[in-house]
């Protein structure tokens, strides 16, 4: 788990990101304690005041968690916003982590100023997604959980499939291309932005991507989730 103070007018971090290992098990109480400690680390910059945003790996509606595919099952139905707010002592806004990354990318990155239907995808251990219509977020899309060949498409095309199945970069990129073809058939986007850790090495795989819509590499890199969470809180 990581955090940083953010200037939401510019998307600039006001301090180096600070990390604390995710607790195991990652229960609501344990994670709330980490959020508290992350917040306290930056008291000299924030003064312990101001809005707090948390990017969370689940479907989140009105601060309540509605899925637990990649988190501890004890989070199902939990009021994350209230748990984190109690821990830090002031209001907290909780947003899906891929939505947070998309908010940052649309505000300060490759999607800045773009209209129409824009989809942001984070390719990592799983596949996260954000969908924006004329710059407005359609939350909790979770495209990585679409079914493909009898399983979740993130199992087939996430970056983690490379190591698990010993794929080379080009074979993996071809799988991403199949996923993008499905996205095209379902949503007909004007633009797709590809992020996640693999966006730091586009020379290894991006030349294999061929789509009918504009496809670009994300610009915000590892700062996207932190910046987007902060923006969701204001």
Taking each helix axis as running N to C, give the angle between helix 97-108 and helix 224-232, from 0 to 180 degrees, rounded to the nearest 10: 90
Burial of 134 (0-12, 13-18, 19+ CB in 10 A): exposed
Instruction: Identify any residues that bridge with 148 across adjacent strands, giving them in sequence order.
Output: 151
How large is the average pLDDT for residues 208-229?
95
Region at 151 (left for phi over 0; alpha for psi -120 to 50; beta for the rest): beta
- On whether the CB atoms of residues 204 and 162 are closer than 8 A, the answer is no
So what CATH class is 2-99+226-232? alpha beta
- Model pTM? 0.95
Delimit the CATH 3.30.420.40 region(s) of the chain: 2-99+226-232, 112-218
Residues 160-217: pLDDT tens digits?
Answer: 999 999 999 999 999 999 999 999 999 999 999 999 999 999 999 999 999 999 999 9
The CATH number of domain 112-218, selected from 3.40.50.720, 3.30.420.40, 3.30.360.10, 3.30.450.40: 3.30.420.40
The pLDDT tens digits for 117-146 are: 999 999 999 999 999 999 999 999 999 999
User: Which residues lie below 8 Å from residue 170, measured CB to CB, with a gap of 6+?
Assistant: 205, 208
């Amino acid at each position: 788990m990581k955090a940083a103070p953010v200037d939401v007018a510019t998307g600039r971090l006001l301090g180096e990101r600070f990390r604390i290992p995710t607790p195991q098990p990652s229960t609501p109480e344990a994670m709330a304690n980490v959020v508290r400690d992350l917040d306290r680390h930056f008291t000299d910059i924030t003064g312990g005041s101001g809005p707090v945003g948390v990017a969370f790996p689940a479907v989140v509606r009105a601060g309540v968690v509605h899925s637990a595919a990649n988190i501890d099952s004890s989070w199902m139905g939990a009021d994350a916003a209230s748990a984190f707010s109690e821990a830090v002592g002031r209001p907290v806004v909780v947003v899906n982590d891929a939505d947070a990354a998309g908010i940052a990318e649309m505000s300060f990155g490759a999607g800045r100023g773009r209209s129409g239907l824009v989809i942001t995808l984070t390719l990592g251990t799983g596949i996260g997604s954000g969908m924006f219509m004329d710059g407005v977020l359609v939350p909790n899309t979770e495209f990585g959980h679409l079914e493909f060949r009898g399983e979740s498409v993130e199992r087939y095309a996430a970056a983690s499939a490379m190591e698990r199945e010993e794929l080379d970069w080009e074979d993996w990129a071809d799988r991403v291309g199949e996923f993008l073809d499905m996205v095209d058939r379902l949503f007909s986007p004007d633009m797709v932005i590809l992020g996640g850790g693999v966006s730091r090495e586009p020379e290894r795989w991006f030349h294999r991507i061929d789509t009918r819509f504009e496809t670009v590499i994300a610009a915000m890199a590892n700062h996207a989730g932190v910046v987007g969470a902060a923006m969701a809180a204001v």
